[in-house]
Amino acid sequence: MSVSRHWSLRKRLTIIASVVMALLSLAVAVLALLGVHGLAESYRTDQITNASLKVVHLVERGVLPAVLPATEVKYVQVVNSEGRVISATPALLGQPPISHMTISRSAMRAGREECALPAFPDTCMIVVAFRVYREESDWTVYAADTAVPWYVDPRLVGLLAAGSVLLVVITALGTYRIVGKTLRPVDDISAELAEINVTDLGRRVPVPAAHDEIRRLAVIVNQTLDRLEKLVEQQRRFASDASHDLRSPLTAMRAQVEAAMLHPEETDWMEVSHAQLDSLERLEALVSDLLMLARLDAGAPSTRELLDLSQLVTSELNRRARRVHVSRVLEPGVKVYGDRLRLARMLTNLVDNAERHASERVTVTVAQSGGTAVLEVLDDGTGIPPDKREVVFQRFTRLDAARSKDAGGTGLGLPIAREIAREHGGMLTVEDSPIGARFVARLPLADT
Ligand SMILES: Nc1ncnc2c1ncn2[C@@H]1O[C@H](COP(=O)(O)OP(=O)(O)OP(=O)(O)O)[C@@H](O)[C@H]1O
Ligand SMILES: [Mg+2]
């Protein structure tokens, strides 16, 4: 694994920015060197050309001295048509012609850079040659000076290198500071998140003022914490309600047994047993409801089979007689994919409630509308006020009217029914009705 993977974002961005700046500076320095080099070369060539022209003038006027003055250019020679050096600057006195450059017939002059000439074995020279007509033949004036090196001047290279290093250092420091400043809110968020646990879910991460991605992250983290806090609160309430509901029948059972044991001779043990059985039944129902909810919450897998909803309703309603009349309006052929036991449980929970609250009749309807199967349980009781229509689906909720009617309910029937509807890809709601309560479950139809 590469070492760079362990580097912080700050370090990585700083290195990337510095490398990019170093490459840019290098490119700019090379371009600058090339430009200055070109200028210096053409300036030097011009100097050499000017010096040669002066000598050409002397040759033409016939006033050529044997030793030429070395003013701007140190190396000048005049060579006659036989290749003999007629005149030269002091540095070239006694030397053979420095170059053998030929000038084309059509031109008066030639010039180029020549390296390792016999007179200058260690360096490259810019050499310019001029043709002059003298004593009825062609003479040549050669002038030369050292070529400009690639770096032009060591001070220029030093300046460019220092400038580049300075730019890279400024870029590195700047990037390190800016990235550090930008990422500080992320560090703050991490530090706060690291300290949050289940006991202090009320804490929130700091939201930076700038409207950027980090602010969005902080807002989303806080929204997630809000949801988590609510969920944990719900779970706590659920656990405490569940323990409370489990304890009541246990306390009752204990009180009955203790009272009976105080006066064993006067106790009707059959009556005590019946009372104990009632409490046990209640406990059993509660525990099985809790288990069912836990399974639904955990998303425990359920079976899926093709079911005719009307047939399912018929067989469930035929199972036992009801206190009130249950009418059925069942459309045949409404098919859904589902878990038979769970859907039957949903129906029983709804019909049990309806039966408990109805005054005379309950109506169960199965129909299909659009792509949905609709199962309705309607009663003619007191109904559920609109502001309580969502509340009744919360766990352990029992409205006041129900508490007085039947002490046996736990308030888990509707939450279980809704979870079953949801688990089948549908929904269970309370809807408007002229009289009583109307529970409507909508489930996706099976594609047949
Ligand atoms: N058909 C209905 N008419 C009027 N109120 C209803 C009806 N169905 C449910 N409710 C109200 O909703 C509450 C919650 O119902 P739910 O089925 O969850 O619990 P429960 O019937 O009290 O107890 P459990 O079903 O667990 O034995 C009931 O206590 C009752 O107040
Ligand atoms: Mg119920």
Q: Is the CB of 417 under 6 A from ligand 1?
A: no
CB of 423 closer than 8 Å to CB of 444: no
CATH code of the domain covering residue 331: 3.30.565.10
Closest-CA residue, ligand 1 atom 27, reads 409
As a whole number of angstroms, the distance between CA 341 and CA 344 comes to 5
Q: Is the CB of 412 under 6 A from ligand 1?
A: yes
Report yes or no on 193 lying in a domain: no
What is the pLDDT, as a whole number, of residue 392?
95
Q: Is the CB of 411 under 6 A from ligand 1?
A: yes
CATH code of the domain covering residue 260: 1.10.287.130
The rounded Å distance from CA 303 to ligand 1 centre is 27
Q: Is the CB of 381 under 6 A from ligand 1?
A: yes
Segment 392-420 shows an average pLDDT of 81
The rounded Å distance from CA 417 to ligand 2 centre is 9
Q: Is the CB of 145 under 6 A from ligand 1?
A: no
Domain count along the chain? 3
Q: Is the CB of 399 under 6 A from ligand 1?
A: yes
The rounded Å distance from CA 212 to ligand 2 centre is 50
Give yes or no: residues 16 and 149 share one domain. Answer: yes
Segment 241-254 shows an average pLDDT of 92
What percent of the chain has pLDDT above 90?
79
Q: Is the CB of 357 under 6 A from ligand 1?
A: yes
Buried/exposed code over 173-183 (b: 16+ C-beta within 10 A; e: otherwise): eebbeebeebb
Backbone angles phi, psi at 278, to 5 degrees: -60, -50
Give yes or no: residues 143 and 39 share one domain. Answer: yes
Give yes or no: residues 319 and 440 share one domain. Answer: yes
Amino acid at 85: V
Report yes or no on 388 lying in a domain: yes
Report yes or no on 258 lying in a domain: yes
What percent of the chain has pLDDT above 70?
97
Domain final position from 126, 154, 182: 154
What is the pLDDT, as a whole number, of residue 407?
53
Segment 188-204 shows an average pLDDT of 90
Is 70 exceeded by the pLDDT of residue 2?
no
What is the pLDDT, as a whole number, of residue 235?
87
Give yes or no: residues 20 and 130 share one domain. Answer: yes
The ligand with the least distance to the CA atom of 439 is 1
The better pLDDT of the pair 439, 100 is held by 439
Give yes or no: residues 279 and 150 share one domain. Answer: no
Report yes or no on 197 lying in a domain: no
Residue from 223, 240, 241, 232 nearest 200 by CA: 232
Ligand 1 atom with the smallest distance to the CA of 377 is: 1
Give yes or no: residues 355 and 286 share one domain. Answer: no
Give yes or no: residues 145 and 257 share one domain. Answer: no
pLDDT tens profile 44-92: 999 999 999 999 999 999 899 999 988 889 999 999 989 999 999 999 9
Is 70 exceeded by the pLDDT of residue 260?
yes
Range from 62-76, 370-384, 404-418 carrying the lowest mean pLDDT: 404-418
The ligand with the least distance to the CA atom of 393 is 1
What is the pLDDT, as a whole number, of residue 71?
81
Give yes or no: residues 129 and 258 share one domain. Answer: no
Rg of the chain, C-alpha, whole Å: 52
The ligand with the least distance to the CA atom of 385 is 1
What is the extent of the structural domain holding 29?
Answer: 11-154
Report yes or no on 402 lying in a domain: yes
Determine the residue of 283, 398, 429, 439 to mutate for testing ligand 1's pocket, defined as the one with the most ligand atoms within 8 A of the Cβ atom: 398
Is 60 exceeded by the pLDDT of residue 406?
no
Q: Is the CB of 379 under 6 A from ligand 1?
A: yes
The rounded Å distance from CA 353 to ligand 2 centre is 5
Give yes or no: residues 330 and 390 share one domain. Answer: yes
CB of 167 closer than 8 Å to CB of 25: yes
CATH code of the domain covering residue 135: 3.30.450.20
What Å distances lie between residue 51 and 47, 55, 89, 339, CA to CA?
A: 6, 7, 11, 108
Give yes or no: residues 254 and 325 share one domain. Answer: no
Segment 399-428 shows an average pLDDT of 83
Domain final position from 263, 297, 331: 297
Domain final position from 154, 169, 184: 154
As a whole number of angstroms, the distance between CA 324 and CA 380 comes to 10
Segment 191-203 shows an average pLDDT of 90
As a whole number of angstroms, the distance between CA 411 and CA 356 comes to 13
As a whole number of angstroms, the distance between CA 128 and CA 108 comes to 11
Backbone angles phi, psi at 203, to 5 degrees: -75, 150
What is the pLDDT, as a whole number, of residue 404?
56
What is the pLDDT, as a whole number, of residue 178?
95
Give yes or no: residues 240 and 313 share one domain. Answer: no
Ligand 1 atom with the smallest distance to the CA of 357 is: 3
Closest-CA residue, ligand 1 atom 31, reads 399
Q: Is the CB of 402 under 6 A from ligand 1?
A: yes
Give yes or no: residues 265 and 361 share one domain. Answer: no
Closest-CA residue, ligand 1 atom 12, reads 392
CB of 130 closer than 8 Å to CB of 111: no
What is the pLDDT, as a whole number, of residue 133?
87
Q: Is the CB of 351 under 6 A from ligand 1?
A: no
Report yes or no on 177 lying in a domain: no
Phi/psi class of residue 330: alpha, beta or left (left: φ > 0; alpha: ψ in -120 to 50)?
A: beta
- Mean pLDDT, the chain, rounded, equals 92
The rounded Å distance from CA 41 to ligand 2 centre is 101
Determine the residue of 292, 322, 348, 353 to mutate for testing ligand 1's pocket, defined as the one with the most ligand atoms within 8 A of the Cβ atom: 353
CB of 398 closer than 8 Å to CB of 245: no
Tell how many helices (H) and how many strands (E) occur in the chain.
8, 12
CB of 170 closer than 8 Å to CB of 193: no
